[in-house]
């Protein structure tokens, strides 16, 4: 059995889940263990106690600490299959502007002024919504939302 996680940027996460079912008689109980606790963690708890026929969803969180393919295993307990985990971490964007300020001068109400700037991404991913955060809500920008 395998769980493949959606690609996640460093600083973000992706969730996936697996179902643990007691298909036998009596009670199945224990604590699930992850082999890679740097990039994976339990989002819904790791302990279980299941009567005959009962199930529990175990949700795993993939939060890569660095870029690259990250693997691991989920071991539920005796008699249960080991689940392999796989996810890809991507570098976070590192966005910068070519200018530290834009001076519009005096602009009369109803008129407009245009200044230009360049944005550069020195990291991975995209610089979505980065410029409006820098200039605040008063800035009106014409762009598609992302600089790649």
- pLDDT, tens digit (0-9, with 9 covering 90-100), for 43-98: 988 999 999 999 999 999 999 999 999 999 999 987 788 999 999 999 888 877 77
The pLDDT score that the predictor gives to residue 104 is 83
Residue 22 scores a pLDDT above 60: yes
The pLDDT score that the predictor gives to residue 134 is 55
User: What pLDDT digit, counting tens, does each position of 58-71 carry?
Assistant: 999 999 999 999 99
Q: 137 falls in which pLDDT band (50, 70, 90)?
A: very low
- CA 51 to CA 28: how far, in whole Å? 6
Asked if 98 contacts 118 with a C-beta cutoff of 8 angstroms, the reply is: yes
The pLDDT score that the predictor gives to residue 12 is 92
Nearest alpha carbon to residue 88 among 65, 69, 66: 69
Name the 3-class secondary structure at 7: coil
Nearest alpha carbon to residue 80 among 16, 28, 5, 4: 28
69: Cα within 13 Å, side-chain hemisphere? 4
Instruction: Say which residue the tokens 């920008």 belong to.
Output: 141
What share of the chain has pLDDT > 90, as a percent?
A: 53
pTM attached to this predicted model: 0.72
Q: How many other CB atoms sit within 10 Å of the CB of residue 122?
A: 10
The pLDDT score that the predictor gives to residue 132 is 56
């Amino acid at each position: 059995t395998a769980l493949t996680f959606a690609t996640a940027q460093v600083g973000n996460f992706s969730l996936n889940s697996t179902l643990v079912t007691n298909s036998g008689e009596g009670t199945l109980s224990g604590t699930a263990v992850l082999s890679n606790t740097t990039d994976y963690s339990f989002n819904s708890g790791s302990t279980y106690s299941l009567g005959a026929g009962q199930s529990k969803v175990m949700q795993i969180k993939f939060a890569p600490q660095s870029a690259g393919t990250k693997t691991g295993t989920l071991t539920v307990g005796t008699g249960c299959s080991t689940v392999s985990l796989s996810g890809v971490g991507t570098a976070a964007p590192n966005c910068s502007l070519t200018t530290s300020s834009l001076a519009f001068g005096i602009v009369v109400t109803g008129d407009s002024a245009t200044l230009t700037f360049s944005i550069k991404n020195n990291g991975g991913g995209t610089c979505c919504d980065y410029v409006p955060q820098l200039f605040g809500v008063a800035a009106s920008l014409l762009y598609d939302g992302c600089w790649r």
